[in-house]
Structure 1
Amino acid sequence: MSDNEIIAGIMRDHILNLLKEGKRIDDRGFEDYRPIEIEVGLIEKAEGSALVRLGSTQVLVGIKTTLGEPFPDTPNMGVMTTNVELVPLASPTFEPGPPDERAIELARVVDRGIRESRALNLEKMVIVPGKIVRVVFIDVHVLDHDGNLMDAIGIAAIAALMNAKVPKVEYNEETGEVKVLEDKEPLPVEKIPIPVTFAKIGSVLVVDPNLEEEQVMDGKLTITTDETGHISAVQKSEAGAFKLEEVMYAVETAFKKAEYIRKLVIEAVEKGHAVG
């Protein structure tokens, strides 16, 4: 057994003993988030941006847009794509190069939460049906990894989309000319999906696991909900199984915690900054 495995075993035993006493390693309650700070509009060259600090975890999201062709199977819908970059400076486990499985999973789940909730109305991003649509790029940069990247990225992504202002576009049907104007307008963001992540350690579920908790957890469950009472994404990670009653508890708790975070996002978009 390596030194790292021995240390991990000691840490797991310590965290499990604390959980049995109703405590967490950072003194939070089982359903408590770490402090959340949201700032928007930090990147001047982006159409929209948001920086989220979740405890010591930090992620920065920038929104860029262009005009392009729709996908052949969705000619009357705009295009949205999400990319996550795990910057090596953020964690010794991140390496330069193409996106690894972690980055792909993070991008996929956050994208699904936004897409399936119809938070961004892609139908309103069509300029010329079947020919020209608005293309939105959600670019995520992880600056510091101290656990629960999923929630931090999801919060930052929707805040950045709500912060975005994009050039208005005019289309002349007679001449076929497309003109990009200097005036700007917001993206058609109609819902605010929020992911809430749970770690299962032993038989206990905790909200917003920090890095130490993630390193010893048996399983992880992320539930993304919107303000209309719908679940738009569910992602289960790691090998541990979740009982039905644990999933039902997680769903109920996810709606409750998302409502609180959603208010912070709205405040940040309106005032430029919010802390909770």
Structure 2
Amino acid sequence: MESKLANAWRLTVNEKKFIETALLSELRIDGRGLYDYRKLTIKFGREYGSSEVQLGHTHVMGFVTAQLVQPYKDRPNDGALSVFTEFSPMADPSFEPGRPGEFAVELGRVIDRGLRESRAVDMESLCVLAGKLVWAIRIDLHILDNGGNLVDAANIAALAALLTFRRPECTLGGEDGQEVTVHPPEVREPIPLIIHHLPIAFTFGFFNNGNILVMDPTYNEEAVMCAKMTLIVNANGDICAIQKAGGEGILQSVIIHCLRLATARAAATTKMIKDAVEGYNREKALQKIRRHPTSLVSSESASSAAAKKNQGQSVDQEEDNEVSRKRVERLKLISEESRATQSNDSESGNSRESRSAKNFIGGPSSWDPYSKGVDTDFLKASLGSRGISNPSRIQKDLGSQEKHSESETQEMHEDVKPAPPVINEPQTGLHTNGGKTLKDAVKPKNKRKKRASSASGAS
């Protein structure tokens, strides 16, 4: 009762009288009714088997662990269950570190009795090898803040931690079948504990020589009450355990009345615990789902997503959906732009090809600007009449006119063959439409000399 003594030392006489006077009028200092419960909040940690319960200003954390040990000789097929409590000076100045006090031992025993005597946990399912190896379940309860009624808050924390705990799976092997193999969580999924029902603890405080009864006493009310009693029941109305620690005596009718109140409240508390555990298991299941890229994402986006996943970048479900949606939209825009550019390039290529097809007809051009006025048929006829068959002679005669002609024109003239000679053709050449022959166009050298000499004589 060290906590009660600490609370009494902190309260003044006036505060105690105020609390007692208010209870006589069926009023409580926090505004609740005599049988009202404080607000209950249940949270869970990242790992299996961890819970955090807040009942009003009372704050308790629970952790569940397991290890393989040898069973008791009188129970070779049953596992082991133990409860340990830790009272931190941070929760209450009256708590001292080190060896647990009387109240800490009492708290652990009450919770252990409610779980063990009611057989809430299936102990036979914890047996691995009969008479040699069983699982020993350990429940550690840490008191973070003492706001009154530590038993109820610690009991709920222990139940929530047990419901979320997962033990490793074991298999037997070897030649004789006695070799135990413990599989890690990465290889095989851990196994939850088999819990038949939830024994819920409810604490009642008595005032004014047992004439006034309240449910879920607070820190200050515990300093004033004359006695307290803890009842552990389940949702079916079964009585799991009763704890009455000293103080004033309680009538049988009062105990029955307390049992009715606890049974009515047990169903609501059990539902609240199960709902919180289901929400936690749902979140854990969603975290295990491996998401694959959608069909709209290209191979490049899939490879980048796989690379990011290999690098250990973890994001939650909503962020992944948002990123994938943005990526799909971006890929759609890129594909549309690429299609538009390809269509524009094809149209421009087709237009260029059509223009080039219109501008270019046939093979390479053989047009010679210097031979524009020369008739090819007439030239063949005239050369044939003279009996000239050497192409080099033709090139010499036309040298003055073909100095700037291109190589293609020269190859054309080299390939020209003379026509057969015309016997009855006069040597003066043929005239077509009054034009001159090639002989008339080229002046002989002797005439040029005579003109030059006559010009010099005249001078």
- The separation in 1 between residues aligned to 2:275 and 2:263, in whole angstroms, is 19
- Deviation for aligned residue 1:272: 2.9
Give the match for residue 225 of structure 1. 233
The structure 1 residue matched to 2:30, chosen from 23, 26, 29, is 26
Give the match for residue 134 of structure 1. 135
3-state SS of paired residue (1:88): coil
Give the match for residue 194 of structure 1. 200
Give the match for residue 178 of structure 2. 176
- Deviation for aligned residue 1:11: 2.4
- The separation in 1 between residues aligned to 2:271 and 2:106, in whole angstroms, is 26
Q: How many residues align?
A: 267
Identity of aligned residues (%): 37
**Cα displacement string for residues 97-156 of structure 1 (whole angstroms, at most 9, x for unaligned residues):** 111111100000001101111111101111111111011000000000010000000011
Structure 1: which amino acid aligns with 2:102? E
Structure 1: which amino acid aligns with 2:67? T
Q: TM-score, normalised by structure 2?
A: 0.56
Residues 63/197 of structure 1: CA separation in 2 closer, same or farther (3 Å cut):
same
The structure 1 residue matched to 2:191, chosen from 166, 185, 199, is 185
3-state SS of paired residue (1:22): coil
- The separation in 2 between residues aligned to 1:11 and 1:217, in whole angstroms, is 13
After TM superposition, the structure 1 = structure 2 runs for residues 54-73 of structure 1, keeping only pairs within 5 Å, are: 54-73=55-74
Structure 2: which amino acid aligns with 1:242? I
3-state SS of paired residue (2:232): strand
After TM superposition, the structure 1 = structure 2 runs for residues 6-155 of structure 1, keeping only pairs within 5 Å, are: 7-40=11-44, 42=45, 44=47, 47-155=48-156
User: 4+ residue stretches of structure 1 with deviation over 4 A?
Assistant: 4-8
Which region of structure 1 is more displaced relative to structure 2, 165-174 or 73-82?
Answer: 165-174
Structure 2: which amino acid aligns with 1:150? V
Higher helix share: 2
- The separation in 2 between residues aligned to 1:205 and 1:162, in whole angstroms, is 32
- Deviation for aligned residue 1:73: 1.7
Q: TM-score, normalised by structure 1?
A: 0.93
The structure 1 residue matched to 2:244, chosen from 236, 251, 262, is 236
Q: Structure 1: which 5+ runs fail to align?
A: none
Paired residues of 1:43 and 1:62 also in contact (CA < 8 A):
no
RMSD: 1.6
Paired residues of 2:65 and 2:137 also in contact (CA < 8 A):
yes
- The separation in 1 between residues aligned to 2:173 and 2:250, in whole angstroms, is 55
- The separation in 1 between residues aligned to 2:178 and 2:22, in whole angstroms, is 67
Give the match for residue 264 of structure 1. 272
Structure 2: which amino acid aligns with 1:236? K
- The separation in 1 between residues aligned to 2:75 and 2:61, in whole angstroms, is 30
- The separation in 1 between residues aligned to 2:216 and 2:97, in whole angstroms, is 27
- Deviation for aligned residue 1:178: 0.3
- The separation in 2 between residues aligned to 1:74 and 1:25, in whole angstroms, is 50
Paired residues of 2:20 and 2:224 also in contact (CA < 8 A):
no
Q: Structure 2: which 5+ runs fail to align?
A: 1-7, 282-459
Structure 2: which amino acid aligns with 1:217? M
Give the match for residue 207 of structure 1. 215
- Deviation for aligned residue 1:8: 4.2
- Deviation for aligned residue 1:72: 1.5
Higher relative contact order (CA 8 A, sep 6+): 1
- Deviation for aligned residue 1:7: 4.2
- The separation in 2 between residues aligned to 1:35 and 1:7, in whole angstroms, is 24
